[in-house]
Amino acid sequence: MKVKGLILICMLLMAGGFWSHPLHLSFTNLEYKTGASRWELTVKIFSDDFADALRLGNLQGIDTDSRPDSPEIVSLLIDWVGGQLKVWFDEREIPAGTWTLKGWKNKEAAVWMTFTFQEAMPVNQVRITNRLLLDLYPDQKNLFIFTMGQIQSSHEFNGKRTEAVITLNK
């Protein structure tokens, strides 16, 4: 009987592995929108990973299937993302409290969040700290693209590398 129980447990664990996706990945894009004179920060996270992160952060009131509608939930969401993803222009940190949630969609098993903020363009450098989901998954990778006019830069963040500096005036 013990062997049958052990086999059943192994089968259940293996079946659980087939349901989860094999890769833990997020995408973030920070782009200056010239026509609108504002910055747009778009974050894409797999829905199940995002739900796990919200549970871990005691933010169960956020439904990943629909856009948050209450100001309190939006504020909690901005605080959570802003705690994981930090942006500095030159030496000025861009506080998450200045971000506005402009877009939210659940598409292709992922949550897409778009935040906007008004801030003067950086002169010398942009510094990014990206720790999205790194506390949950040891294999987590966070891909990041920065676009400002003709300047484009891409970076990969993981457990060993959580910060990047983009030099603007070379």
pLDDT range class, residue 9, cuts 50, 70, 90: low
Residue with tokens 């009131």: 61
Q: CA 53, CA 51: separation in Å to the nearest integer?
A: 5
**Sign of the Cα pseudo-torsion (128, 134, 139, 142, in order):** negative
Alpha-carbon distances of 42 from 3, 8, 78, 98, 133, rounded to whole Å = 50, 43, 12, 15, 16
Residue 80 contacts by C-beta under 8 Å, 6 or more apart in sequence? Answer: 53, 54, 57, 59
* pLDDT tens by residue, 87-122: 999 999 999 999 999 999 989 899 999 999 999 999
Q: How is the chain split into domains, by residue range? A: 23-167
Q: Which pLDDT score is estimated for 20?
A: 55
For residue 10, pLDDT over 60 is answered with: no
Sequence-separated contacts (24+) of 9-17 with Cβ below 8 Å: none
At residue 134, the 3 state secondary structure works out as coil
Alpha-carbon distances of 120 from 1, 36, 38, 109, 157, rounded to whole Å = 69, 13, 9, 35, 26
Q: CA 93, CA 83: separation in Å to the nearest integer?
A: 12
Q: Give the least confident one: 1-10, 47-56, 150-159.
A: 1-10
